[in-house]
Amino acid sequence: MLFSGDLVFAGLTPLVFMGSVDGALAAVDWLESLQPDVVVPGHGPVLTGTGITRVLDEHRRYYRLILDTAQGGLSRALTPLQTARQADLGEFTGWADAERIVLNLHRAYADHTGRDLDVIAAFEDAVAWLGHPMHTSV
C-alpha cells in the first residue's frame, strides 16, 4: 500500500506548486516503479489494479500538456494567464479544479526562466481565469 500524498490526484487536476513539472513527471515514474497494489492518493478515491496505471498515465499526459503549453506560450512571449486562456485542456476539460492550469503554468514558466514562483501572481491569475474566487474539490 502506497500513500502518495499530493503526488497523485485521482479524478481532479494535479497541482505542481512546489517542486517542478519535470520533477512531478519523474515522481510519477518512481511511484509506478514501486509496483504498489493499492495507492492512497492525496486527493480522490483509493486506487487499485488498472486504476493505478490509468491515473499515473493521466498524470503523465497532463504534465506533458503543461510543459508543451508553457513552451508554446513562452515562445510567443505570452504570460501564464494568456497562455492558459488559449490552452485546450482536451481530455482534462472535465476535471475538477481546472483553474490549476494557471498555477501549473506559472510553475512551468518559473522553472523555465530560473525564477522563483510568484505565488500571489499565480493565484491572482487563477482567479482571473476562473472568473470568481477559487474553491477546491477533494
Read off the pTM: 0.94
Give one word for 4, left, alpha or beta, with left for phi > 0 and alpha for psi -120 to 50. Answer: alpha
CA atoms of 131 and 53, how far apart (whole Å): 34
Exposure string of 38-61, with b = 16+ CB inside 10 Å and e = fewer, is: ebbbebbeebeeeebeebbebbee
Structure confidence at residue 132 (pLDDT): 93
C-alpha cell at 21: 513539472
Q: What number is the average pLDDT over the span 99-110?
A: 97
Q: How confident is the model at residue 135 (pLDDT cuts 50, 70, 90)?
A: confident
pLDDT (tens digit per residue) in 75-92: 999 999 999 999 999 999
Q: What number is the average pLDDT over the span 99-105?
A: 97
DSSP E strands, 47-100: 47-48
Upper half-sphere CA count for residue 23 (Cβ side, 13 Å): 12
Structure confidence at residue 66 (pLDDT): 98
Asked if residue 138 has pLDDT above 60, the reply is: no
Residues with Cβ within 8 Å of 106's Cβ and at least 6 positions away in sequence, in order, are 80, 117, 118, 121, 122, 125
pLDDT (tens digit per residue) in 49-59: 999 999 999 99
C-alpha cell at 55: 491515473
CB atoms within 10 A of CB 68: 12
Q: What number is the average pLDDT over the span 106-132?
A: 96
